[in-house]
Structure 1
Amino acid sequence: MSSPKVEKVMKSSLTILFVMVSIDYTGAVLNDLRIGVTRSWLPIVQSALDASNVSLPVELVDIYPGNTRSTFDTIDKTHSAVERMNVHAVIGPYEPALGLVVESLNIPYLSTTQVSSKSLHRNTFQIMPEMQWSAEAILDIAQTYGWEKISVFYDDDSGVQVLEELMTNHTIVVRAWRLPLKARSRQIRNALVEMRKVLVEKSVVLCSKENTHLLLEEARDLAMLSTPPYGWLFYDPGDEGQKVFTKYVEIAVNFTVVTLLDFNHTIESYDHSRLDFALASDALQLVTSSFSILEESASATNTDLSNDGVRFQLSRAIKNNMESGYTGYLDFNSEGRRSNFTLTLTAITGDFNYLRGHWFSDPPELYRPLVLYTQQFPFNRSTPFPLRGRTARVVMIEERPFTMKKRDHMLRRGNDKFEGFSVDLIDEVARMLGFDYEIYLVNDGKFGSKLPSGEWNGMIGELLAGNATMSVAPLSINAQREEAVDFTKPFKTRYISVLMRIPRRETSYFEFLNPLSPIVWICTLCAFVVVSVVLYALERIGRDKTQESGDSIEITVRESFWFIFGSLLQGNTDSTPCTIPGRILTSAWWFFALILISSYTANLAAFLTVKKINTPIKSVTDLAQQTKIKYGTVKDSGIMSFFKNTNIEHFSKMWAQMSEVEPDSMVENTTEGFQKVRNEDYAFFWDTTVNKYQTISDCDVMEIGPAFDPKGFGIGVPPGATYREELSMSILRLSDQGKLHEIETKWWDNTKCPDMTKSSTDETSSLQIDNVAGVFFILVGGIVIAAIVCLGEYFTSAMIKASKLDIGHKNDKRNGYGKTDPAFL
């Protein structure tokens, strides 16, 4: 098979021969080459002419028709201008009115844009390849790469052709988003978030340089650039995005750029696009080369050409001439469309770019259109962390002790307003991986659950919406959330426990009565009365009056009661039993009193000095078997999902109970749950980590176990985020270095409350006045009663004396005494 250079020489020779045979001898002199250009393209073609090495005299002519009233007026004025200026060829974007004019004058029209089949004439040559060819190239590349799901981003009608080509292949699932020509960041972000929701990781981009730049910026913020798993294919025929793509060298991207230009092209960046410059240069080269062929032919045969002859022969020369320019071989088919061209594939993988392959529009037989090249990567090539040097948006939820606002947060700004375990954790991770972060709290105060509409709320919704780069919070990892977002390795394990109010210990002024039960007090009182009466009876019956000792005191009923009472209180009395039965009974009573008083003293010490927490609920099972104390958890939380979906019998029953009284059982957030625990008979199911901290800071609540449903807390990231592994490794390194333990100790080991889980026998306290006030009341009562009795006896005695004196006076008067002896008084 002949080489392209040989084919080029043969075609050029045939062109010269054809022109020499078909020269029109009219006697006119061949003028300088005049090229008509539309006003908007004059600077572009002029730049191409200045950069070229054309030695032929070329004059660029502005063929702008001026202001026109109608299409007919435009055609008429354009025709007059072209004919008046003796234009030999036209270069620029295709315009229908101009196309009709040049066709009628046999002027070659080198169009730099696509021309519809209806507008394509015999003298029109389309320098820009058909978009249909590029669509086939993109399909071949996607199939070769093994892409099964593709998202297509485009901002003009040319993207529709690519979309149609991709959709004809039923092995590829295609999702498309059309962007405005001047898209906004929010519009592009919404499209990317939607793409991530449908789990599409490969993208084809057919957008302007500006939209492509915005697309990549938003994709970087959403961590959708790095490989694996993301792959990006850009159709950029003029290599306009060269500077845009090089901005992401710090990320391990997987970009493939399809361009018309050669891999090592040397086109400088002008004010206009590279593609326009390349097309203008190629069109100019083709026209000047073909015109030079005409000149050589006319000079060799010493003939002259008329103006019309030059135009006609120039069209034929262009059709048969094959030059090579910036966009490859300038070859045309019978319809004047570009053929036999090559697309270049450039791979961009971070800071390493290389020629990935070529796609040929007209490959030789037995050859495939797409040819890919292998590339040996440098041995020291490393994959940089995608977030390095960037600011990540970290969503958190206000939850003690993970994330809290400082007391003076109103005077602070940014991340300095927050403190807690999560804040310390992300600070260590960011310092280790070299990125900045911005903390914000989730608006709805939710952790994240799936709504009936299929959307997610809370922090999960923030990740899916692209508002957050990651979530650092007590967000438990479960199956439903794993389907929506990705998680790192757990940084902490949590269980579910119950938080309840500590039962208030009832104090009583007569707490000293507690060591003995009421029945014992009643029996003791009865025994006191019975023994006193029996003792009196025994003494009364058994006393030998004749042998009664003069020293003994007769035991009356009053003395018997006093003796028994004094013996019970271990006091001394004047009277003692004298009979043997009485002494036997007294010995039995003393033994009874010894045991009773000893037991009472021991129990009193225990009751008054040892704190006992008698809780009606000691486990989750106890809670499930009663209805007095209500229980619940945070609405739309992972713990609520556990109760809702569990197959464990008593947990299912508890969920049924919670569902029946849902307004009273469910709370909006943990703060509301803690308040409900303190103020009501309410048990709050929540994470052990949070409950433990609450018992540390609030001595009126306690945690009840045993804990159940172990799960891990992980950093949440958007699905497919390429920085998840680095975050996981940083957590493992922090754990190995002991940093995680230090942070946990900082927030969970600073307790000011006594540990209620220890045995009650290990915790004693001094007696308070509330515990023994009853004893003082009895003492005061005894004093008051004694005083009253004393006063009663005094007044009674005084009255008796007064009565006796009155009787004495009456007797004296009766006996003749007129005065009372003062000594008597």
Structure 2
Amino acid sequence: MKFVICLLGVTVYICVAAADEQLRVALKSKKVLSVPETSLPIAELALENSNLVDSFKLLPVTSGNMGSSFASINKTFFEISDLDLDAIVGPFDMSLDLVAESLDIPYLSLTHDTSQVKKRNTFEMLPDTVWAGRAILDIIEVYGWAQIALFHDDYKGVPLVEQLVTDHSVLVRAWRLPAVAERHHVNQALIQMRKSRIQTILVMCSKENTRLMLDEALNLAMLSTPPYHWMFYDPCLESQEDLTKYTQIQVNFTVISLVDFNNTLKAGNLSKTELALGCDAFSMLISFKNQELETLIGNSSSPQNDTGSKLGNSIRKASLTGHTGKIAFDPQGQRMNVTLTLSTVSGDHTYPRGMWYSHTPMSVPNLILNTAIFPLNQTRPFPLVGRKVKVVIIENKPFTMLKRDHASRQGNDRFEGFSIDLIEYVAKELEFDYELYLVHDGKFGSQMPDGRWNGVIGELIAGNATMSVAPLSINANRESAVDFTKPFMTRHISVLMRVPTYETSYFQFLNPFSPMVWMIIMLAFLVVSWILYGLEKVGRSLDRQTNKDLPPVTIRESVWFIFGSLVQGSTEPVASSLPGRILTSAWWFFALILISSYTANLAAFLTVKKIATPINSVTDLAQQTKIKYGTVKDTGVKNFFKNTQIDYFAKMWAQMSEVEPDTMVDNETAALKKVKTENYAFFWDSTVNKYHTQTDCDLMEVGPAFDPKGFGIGVPPGASYLDQLSMAILKMSDRGILEGLQSKWWDISNCPDLSGGADETSSLQIENVAGVFFIVVGGIVLASLVCLAKYWFPNVFRIPEMVTQKSFLGAMLPKKVNTDDDGVDAEQL
């Protein structure tokens, strides 16, 4: 009586032979290049764990290569026929499946049957995944989950996906990983899953892929986030050590398995699946020995086919309990009456969560849960305390700047700014450490045409950073990709321009009156001069009837008198006639008001700088084409113009994006250079623009700001530490720390304040009053020329003696003027 145990999928066959009381096991060597280990350690370990060492004796034998070719099948057939075996136990192999069916030998397969046609003599020790699917559906129903993500890495996940999809109450998204996945495969799959906002994850992968997925999920902060529910279908607990190694973050996993989590099997570096199922196979074989092997199998003279057939019938009727639960087979050779164990793993502790039974009475549910210590797979908040996290930043003054001597510094000490002080206070409040790094592409974050995100947002989604501390405006598009804390600052959009040149004029003293007023004053001067001349001429002609010595009236004297009165010159004599004196009084009053108004306005005009600002608001900018305008690509400001429904903003976006696309710059530094060197207006955050206007006196903000939004700390979607960060920011606000930081980095201006009408009082410069000196110089030159002309041409400028001595003004004096005791009269004077 002989048994053969063929452990395939590794590198050897194991043949078991029974002789009298002792079962002898012969090891059959087999070389497979793709698999390095042998089945001998598995057999020995299975015997040791089953306490069957004394019942079996291992003997090595040789065999050909494993495969499904005709030559391989033929060689396997003759070799097994020569061994006169009664049973085969091992991983499923197509050659052995065909040979076992041909020789009528029971084949206990330790893995799933991958053949298209089920054979009568093949028995699957590993239950079909359909039972796992039913258990998962029952769990989903109990907890009311609406969607689930499934990760698998071989064919056995496909029927499970189909089974879950047929239940229309749950949405299923599946990702199939390569059999030997690499880190980027798992990373991309997890990121896609996170974008889909699915929070329930079922992992059905190999030990190596499961380990890689856990590590990547940890890097993406997805193990420690409360919304996520992690479940693992691991029949024989291959990943037991990996699931219990994350003690530092205290997460919980739900494990669905055949084997109890606290089992005593010791596999070491070998396969736990082969060990557990191999132990059950040995136990089944030894049970037949204890039940009178002679009766079950017959004596050694019995035909082989008859013996194998009897053994197959006995296996179909067998019902025993092993490491993988109750072992029983249906007519198709598949496990039935399956029992699955639900375990909750929290750190290095394990708690029994419940059991699932494939066959129960009508009144008993299939899923029976124990009283929960805490909700199923409810992960605890990710503790920032004592941890070192990565913080992504972006260079943007005054939020984040490199120190002048940053080349000689290392780590976080290279940076300074508002954001650096902010994260320092937050880290101190929450007692965690951090590592700062600059975003690689220098962008804040915008969604690209392929759906991926770049910049700071992309770093958070990719899991490269635990949080971002930057002037990152909160908008609906970004909120759909990542989460934000409470705002630590409010910003608007404003326009940054170069300060225009000041208006300067040598004749600025003419500015108090408009040109029209000056023309009216000149006209009034001429009209009043002629009217006074007429009034005095008429009045003098009447007075000459009584006093014939009165000199005649001239227009020259009348003009000179009116001009002297206007400029407050010395004009001692007055008009002699009553009408002339009335007109003179009115003119003096006119001159008084005029000179007072001119003096007041002149003081203001000469002591206030006027800036020639062609743009005073955003609407002014939209209505002109001389000054170009734009913003930085892939930013929230650009998205505002792109998505706005306001007419003039939409018009400006068309101008920026289509008519003049060169106005869109790559970064803030390029924009500042463009503002200083070109006729260019830059739309940007008001907080940053304010800083630039206070540190660079050649720049100014124009017009009222618009589009208010908040700056917040960004975190990956669903991060459990979001509330902790928000609470820290609120505490900083209550304590006045945020206001103090703003004063520290913004109240540093040495530039004139140009925000209120763009005016500033200043001292007078030579260019402001040079025109007055020009008039004096002009008067000197004109007087000198007239003097020279009079000297050279005396006949032209000769005036009659009578007019010279008895002028119009002289006639206004009284005939006798007593000036002293000597009684000198006017004639003598």
Cα distance between partner residues in 2 of 1:522 and 1:331: 118
Shift in alpha-carbon separation, 1:182–1:44, aligned structure 2, 3 A: same
The letter for the 2-side match of 1:510 is F
The alignment partner of 1:353 has SS state of strand
- Counterpart of 2:807 in structure 1 is none
Q: How many residues align?
A: 760
Shift in alpha-carbon separation, 1:548–1:59, aligned structure 2, 3 A: farther
The letter for the 2-side match of 1:490 is P
Cα distance between partner residues in 1 of 2:413 and 2:694: 24
- The partner residue of 2:752 within 726, 747, 754 is 754
- Counterpart of 1:339 in structure 2 is 336
Query: Relative to structure 2, which stretch is displaced further, 597-606 or 105-114?
Result: 105-114
Query: Relative to structure 2, which stretch is displaced further, 103-112 or 237-246?
Result: 103-112
Shift in alpha-carbon separation, 1:627–1:73, aligned structure 2, 3 A: closer
Cα distance between partner residues in 1 of 2:51 and 2:173: 47
Matches within 5 A, 1:223-302: 223-251=221-249, 253-294=251-292
- Counterpart of 2:768 in structure 1 is 771
Deviations 1:609-666 (A, max 9, x none): 1335575655556666777766665556544554555556666676677778463776
Cα distance between partner residues in 1 of 2:523 and 2:119: 131
Shift in alpha-carbon separation, 1:272–1:68, aligned structure 2, 3 A: closer
Cα distance between partner residues in 1 of 2:716 and 2:110: 43
Matches within 5 A, 1:134-173: 134-173=132-171
Deviations 1:663-721 (A, max 9, x none): 37765555555555556666554433333333323434444454444333333344434
The alignment partner of 2:25 has SS state of strand
The alignment partner of 2:321 has SS state of strand
1:424 and 2:421 are equivalent in the alignment:
yes
* Contact in 2 for aligned 1:37/1:91 (Cα 8 Å): no
- Counterpart of 2:734 in structure 1 is 736
1:492 and 2:489 are equivalent in the alignment:
yes
TM-score by length of 1: 0.78
Cα distance between partner residues in 2 of 1:593 and 1:195: 86
- Counterpart of 2:326 in structure 1 is 329
Matches within 5 A, 1:605-616: 605-612=603-610, 615=613
Shift of 1:748: 2.4
- Counterpart of 1:35 in structure 2 is 25
Matches within 5 A, 1:345-364: 345-349=342-346, 353-364=350-361
Q: Could you say which structure has the higher helix fraction?
A: 1
Cα distance between partner residues in 2 of 1:778 and 1:322: 125
Cα distance between partner residues in 1 of 2:711 and 2:338: 56
Cα distance between partner residues in 2 of 1:69 and 1:524: 117
The alignment partner of 1:233 has SS state of strand
Shift in alpha-carbon separation, 1:119–1:435, aligned structure 2, 3 A: farther
Cα distance between partner residues in 2 of 1:518 and 1:683: 34
Shift in alpha-carbon separation, 1:336–1:559, aligned structure 2, 3 A: closer
Matches within 5 A, 1:486-525: 486-525=483-522
Shift in alpha-carbon separation, 1:175–1:133, aligned structure 2, 3 A: same
The letter for the 2-side match of 1:216 is L
Shift of 1:724: 2.9
Aligned-CA RMSD value? 4.5
Shift of 1:741: 2.0
Shift of 1:175: 1.5
Shift in alpha-carbon separation, 1:75–1:660, aligned structure 2, 3 A: closer
Cα distance between partner residues in 1 of 2:674 and 2:74: 87
The alignment partner of 1:507 has SS state of coil
Query: Relative to structure 2, which stretch is displaced further, 658-667 or 697-706?
Result: 658-667
Shift in alpha-carbon separation, 1:785–1:166, aligned structure 2, 3 A: same
The letter for the 2-side match of 1:767 is L
Deviations 1:386-414 (A, max 9, x none): 66666655455544333444455566555
Shift of 1:476: 3.1
Cα distance between partner residues in 1 of 2:404 and 2:291: 86
TM-score by length of 2: 0.78
Cα distance between partner residues in 1 of 2:453 and 2:70: 60
Cα distance between partner residues in 2 of 1:54 and 1:530: 137
Shift of 1:241: 1.6
The alignment partner of 2:426 has SS state of helix
Cα distance between partner residues in 2 of 1:221 and 1:436: 15
* Contact in 2 for aligned 1:260/1:328 (Cα 8 Å): yes
* Contact in 2 for aligned 1:354/1:375 (Cα 8 Å): no
The alignment partner of 2:142 has SS state of helix
Structure 1, unaligned runs of 5 or more? 1-27, 798-825
Matches within 5 A, 1:652-801: 661=659, 663=661, 669-671=667-669, 674=672, 684-758=682-756, 763-785=760-782
* Contact in 2 for aligned 1:33/1:88 (Cα 8 Å): no
- Counterpart of 2:398 in structure 1 is 401
Shift in alpha-carbon separation, 1:544–1:202, aligned structure 2, 3 A: same
- Counterpart of 1:800 in structure 2 is none
The letter for the 2-side match of 1:695 is T
Shift of 1:217: 2.0
Deviations 1:459-511 (A, max 9, x none): 44554455554444333333344344433322222334444555533111121
Deviations 1:255-309 (A, max 9, x none): 21112211321223512122222222222233234334447989xxxx9755978
Matches within 5 A, 1:454-493: 459-464=456-461, 466=463, 468-493=465-490
The alignment partner of 1:247 has SS state of coil
Query: Relative to structure 2, which stretch is displaced further, 415-424 or 770-779?
Result: 415-424
The letter for the 2-side match of 1:370 is L
* Contact in 1 for aligned 2:186/2:216 (Cα 8 Å): yes
Matches within 5 A, 1:210-229: 210-229=208-227
The alignment partner of 1:56 has SS state of helix
The alignment partner of 1:402 has SS state of coil
* Contact in 1 for aligned 2:277/2:324 (Cα 8 Å): yes
- The partner residue of 2:601 within 603, 609, 619 is 603
- Counterpart of 1:188 in structure 2 is 186
Query: Relative to structure 2, which stretch is displaced further, 650-659 or 751-760?
Result: 650-659
* Contact in 1 for aligned 2:445/2:458 (Cα 8 Å): no
The alignment partner of 1:766 has SS state of coil
The alignment partner of 1:181 has SS state of coil
Shift of 1:776: 2.8
Query: Relative to structure 2, which stretch is displaced further, 501-510 or 118-127?
Result: 118-127
Cα distance between partner residues in 1 of 2:181 and 2:116: 32
Structure 2, unaligned runs of 5 or more? 1-17, 30-37, 795-829
* Contact in 1 for aligned 2:419/2:469 (Cα 8 Å): yes
Shift in alpha-carbon separation, 1:38–1:491, aligned structure 2, 3 A: farther
The alignment partner of 2:609 has SS state of coil
Shift of 1:454: 5.4
The alignment partner of 1:448 has SS state of coil
Query: Relative to structure 2, which stretch is displaced further, 613-622 or 725-734?
Result: 613-622
The letter for the 2-side match of 1:344 is T
Shift in alpha-carbon separation, 1:233–1:127, aligned structure 2, 3 A: same
Shift of 1:765: 1.6
Shift in alpha-carbon separation, 1:228–1:547, aligned structure 2, 3 A: same
- The partner residue of 1:131 within 129, 132, 156 is 129
Matches within 5 A, 1:80-95: 89-95=87-93
* Contact in 2 for aligned 1:510/1:774 (Cα 8 Å): yes
- Counterpart of 1:204 in structure 2 is 202
Shift in alpha-carbon separation, 1:307–1:723, aligned structure 2, 3 A: farther
Shift of 1:41: 0.9
Shift in alpha-carbon separation, 1:83–1:506, aligned structure 2, 3 A: same
Shift in alpha-carbon separation, 1:137–1:770, aligned structure 2, 3 A: same
Cα distance between partner residues in 2 of 1:307 and 1:432: 83
The letter for the 1-side match of 2:24 is R
